[in-house]
Structure 1
Amino acid sequence: MSRLSRAAVHRPGTRDLDLTSVEVADPAPGTVLVRMGASGVCGSDRHVLDGDWTLPSPTVMGHEGAGTVEAVGEGVTDVAVGDSVILSWFYPCRRCTACVSGRSYVCTGSRSEECLLPDGSTPLSLDGEKAFPYLSVGSMSEYAVVPEAGAIRIPREVPFDVASLIGCSVATGFGAVVNDAGVEAGTSAVVVGTGGVGLSIIMALQLVGANPIIAVDLNEEKLVAAKAFGATHTLTPSDGLADEVHRLTGGGAAYAFEAIGRVSTIESLPSLIAAGGKAVIVGLPPEDSPISIDALALAEGGKSLIGSNYGSTVPGRDFPRLAQLFLAGRLPVDQLISHRITLNEVNEAFEAMRRGERARSVIVF
């Protein structure tokens, strides 16, 4: 059995998504059928559309989603029909050394990045041929089939548009601050790039009590948003950026976060932090993007430069925690959403992203 689902499909060599119907199989053992409630429009999707990253094709895009469990396959016990769930774009295998040691964010058994289910299959077809859900999610579709480990139950009180962002940008930003950097109350931080992930970093910094919090961006509207989310100072990039950060922090920030994925801004991170400080690469650059770092200066200053993928998120632990923080009014995720759109408007949303406009667009089904 299967069903038709209207979806946004990417084909190689094109930047615009094709809005068409794909065939979605019923859930196999260990998988879950989800009727999508919302899907974020994320910069990682844009990397694919713009040819920065390569994937199997055709691809149903979207990896930042939430919805309602419609059916479950044999053996599924974590969720039940009717549950509200957030989808994780990196499902853990639950068996490898990383998973059993509590570090599922570096799972070696997941096939998410191949856009495949754990058994190596895909639940989608298009015109009789295989189609692939982006990162094994494919949330820009009315229906998705995901592994049980990739569907995390949350309270039904959390709106799907909010829940979808928790599944990627919010978890990534929050995790970079809490899981990776371990920011302490009263310490200084600078955030370069104030899109959805950058604003999520700022929200988390405010939550843990960082001060001052410096936001850096070219877009004045985004800097206004950064102030609303907790930034104490805003700066635009310039040749004197490092000097200004050092002036505001009394010698350099304790923590610096890059949330764009641009080589030049990643290379600038060590210059923004104090001796003993920690710089975190959160934004993901195009494939094959080496950077140049003054290794001697980094070592002599006792500085750290680390990579953060998905904020070292453990979805089963972190998604419910973030949902509860939202419900408690301590994490205003809803304020990240600048545009609620239909699936028909998805290409326009990506064009706005390329122009550096909007905080977050969310497709609401």
Structure 2
Amino acid sequence: MRAAVLHTIGDEKLEIRDDVAVLGPGPGEVHIRVRAAGVCHSDLSAINGGLPQPVPAVLGHEAAGDVLAVGDGVDDLEPGDRVAVNWLPSCGICSHCRRGENHLCMTHVMAGYVMPRFMAGDLPVFGMAGCGSFAEEMVVPRAGAVRIDADVPYEVAALVGCGVTTGVGAVINTARVRPGDTVVVIGCGGVGIAAVQGARLAGAAVIVAVDTVPARHQAALRFGATHSVTPDELSDLQMEVVPEGFDYSFDVVAVPQTLRTAWASTRRGGTVVVVGAGRAEHQVEFSPFELLFEGKSIIPSLYGSADPPRDFSRLLALWKAGRLDIEGMISRRLRLDQVGEALGNLGSGDVIRQVIVQSET
């Protein structure tokens, strides 16, 4: 089969190979024919070293497709079932899972760092986060495949697999925004736009979208923001609309400057939600005095604190009801051999989310 392979961290291009084979499915695993895969900024972060990734690797973790085969012990899925990929599947037995913190379980993801998922000729190849959806087929643990209705378009389900769940979940699951609250979202790419929609669904009275790219401002307003500004304009708007500061600030970029901006724009006693992954070497300074007397909380939102078997169906129900616009987040439909170009364009303002639509054969 064909797959896009990253050979070295920092490479500007992915190699499209047609001699790639998946490994498995082994016991407790599911073999999936990939029908659509989202192009996520995390894939770019894996290329440039922002996120750790063993190489060679097939990137991609935001996907949907059809079950081709199942391994021993999988008796609740069968060939032909339509599934969305959960890139952060829980094991069900670790200390986090036992506490109900399924989104913090790293068992399967860490296995993906040491266990190749593909062979390219004689070369073992890893899959990003144990997935590797920039390929025509992939194998994931049973918990990494969530059955969805057969009438859900693959590209819609693919975006639910990461970007939509991460953004909406940060608002609904992590922050638990309430009707009438005030919200600012810093960074309005795919995940940021999903967070804007999550704030709208939660009933936030003020939803301010912040981005350096002017082209994203109109998009944010279309998806539910009440205001949209550049970072330089945020302070003036805040003084006009919510002088005391926002109840919740969502930092989808997660670099030191944006996190300090999120802190400064949040009211005393409010909450800063870290949604973006950032880089391990970045450091942000806070004094003990401001942490104590500002009374603000800084909380992480990994994968929108999601329980995918529960949340995928909820999000798709909102989409079917016309309350969550997922098709509008798709800016381009691409072929597999265009993935490198798509990743190179992720910083441009016209990109909300790009989707690779695989062959239907």
Same fold (TM over 0.5): yes
Partner of 1:207: 201
Contact 1:194-1:215 within 8 A present in 2 as well = yes
Distance 1:78 1:166 in 2: 21
* Displacement after TM superposition at 1:65 (Å): 0.5
Partner of 2:26: 28
> Which piece of structure 1 moves more, 349-358 or 158-167?
349-358
* Displacement after TM superposition at 1:356 (Å): 4.2
Pairwise mapping of residues 269-348 of structure 1 onto structure 2 (< 5 A)? 269-348=262-341
Partner of 1:50: 48
Partner of 2:122: 128
Asked if residue 254 in structure 1 is aligned to residue 276 in structure 2, the reply is no
Partner of 1:360: 353
Partner of 1:159: 153
Contact 1:56-1:115 within 8 A present in 2 as well = no
After superposition, the C-alpha distances for 1:207-232 in whole angstroms (9 at most, x for unaligned) are 11001100011112211000000000
- Percent identity among equivalent residues? 39
Contact 1:15-1:50 within 8 A present in 2 as well = no
Contact 1:196-1:359 within 8 A present in 2 as well = yes
Contact 1:56-1:114 within 8 A present in 2 as well = no
Distance 1:295 1:243, change over 3 A: farther
Pairwise mapping of residues 137-176 of structure 1 onto structure 2 (< 5 A)? 137-176=131-170
Asked if residue 6 in structure 1 is aligned to residue 5 in structure 2, the reply is no
* Displacement after TM superposition at 1:62 (Å): 0.2
Distance 2:148 2:249 in 1: 31
Secondary structure in structure 2 of the residue aligned to 1:111 = helix
Contact 1:191-1:257 within 8 A present in 2 as well = yes
Structure 2 unmatched ranges of 5 or more: none
Distance 1:226 1:60 in 2: 32
Secondary structure in structure 2 of the residue aligned to 1:201 = helix
Distance 1:11 1:356, change over 3 A: farther
Pairwise mapping of residues 52-201 of structure 1 onto structure 2 (< 5 A)? 52-108=50-106, 110-115=107-112, 121-201=115-195
* Displacement after TM superposition at 1:168 (Å): 0.4
- The number of aligned residues is 356
User: Normalising to structure 2: TM-score of the pair?
Assistant: 0.95
Distance 1:93 1:6 in 2: 30
**What letter corresponds to residue 158 of structure 2 in structure 1?**
S
Contact 1:105-1:313 within 8 A present in 2 as well = yes
Distance 1:260 1:296 in 2: 26
After superposition, the C-alpha distances for 1:270-290 in whole angstroms (9 at most, x for unaligned) are 110111110111011122211
User: Normalising to structure 1: TM-score of the pair?
Assistant: 0.94
Contact 2:168-2:198 within 8 A present in 1 as well = yes
Distance 1:173 1:265 in 2: 17
* Displacement after TM superposition at 1:146 (Å): 0.5
